[in-house]
């Protein structure tokens, strides 16, 4: 995965991703140290598959705790416990930054699709 794609999936600009990875940013020609906030680093770690344990070993227990919060899905149960479509959607949702996840969940929870489709009697009709 490219750094640009990883940055996008983490909800960061390409430049900000590079600053965090390198540990500094250039300000008026001087290198200024950069330390990512825990939540940002956790998003980055999630995108590239770094575990909470690895973050803790690197001295970022704060980010490890943030990542641990997002990586603990509840045990699936019921008729959809082993549904591959649900698994795929959950995996995709996990790649979005928290704000985007909230927006998706808000839209789904609302239960009001922009356009509904009626497929009764073999005909497809859009409500309007």
pLDDT score at 75: 57
Question: pLDDT digit string (tens) for 83-116?
Answer: 788 877 877 888 788 888 888 888 888 655 554 4
pLDDT score at 89: 83
Q: What is the dihedral of CA 30, 35, 36, 39, to 10 degrees?
A: -160
24 CB-contact burial (10 Å; exposed 0-12 / middle 13-18 / buried 19+): middle
pLDDT score at 23: 92
Q: Mean pLDDT score of the chain, rounded to an integer?
A: 80
48 vs 12: CA distance, rounded Å:
13
Q: β-strand 30-33 against 117-118: which pairing, if any? A: unpaired
Mean pLDDT over residues 44-58, rounded? 91
Mean pLDDT over residues 43-63, rounded? 92
For residue 21, what are the contacts with CB-CB under 8 A and spacing of at least 6?
Answer: 3
Length of the chain counted residue by residue:
128
């Amino acid at each position: 995965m490219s750094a640009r794609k990883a940055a996008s999936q983490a909800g960061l600009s390409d430049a900000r991703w590079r600053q965090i990875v390198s540990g500094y940013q250039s300000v008026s020609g001087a290198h200024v140290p950069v330390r990512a906030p825990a939540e940002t680093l956790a998003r980055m770690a999630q995108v590239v598959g770094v575990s909470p344990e690895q973050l803790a070993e690197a001295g970022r227990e704060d980010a490890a705790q943030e990542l641990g919060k997002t990586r603990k899905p509840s045990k699936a149960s019921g008729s959809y416990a082993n549904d591959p479509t649900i698994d795929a959607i959950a995996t995709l949702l996990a790649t979005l930054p928290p704000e985007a996840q909230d927006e998706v969940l808000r839209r789904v929870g609302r239960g009001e699709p922009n356009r509904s489709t009626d497929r009764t009697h073999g005909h497809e009709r859009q409500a309007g």
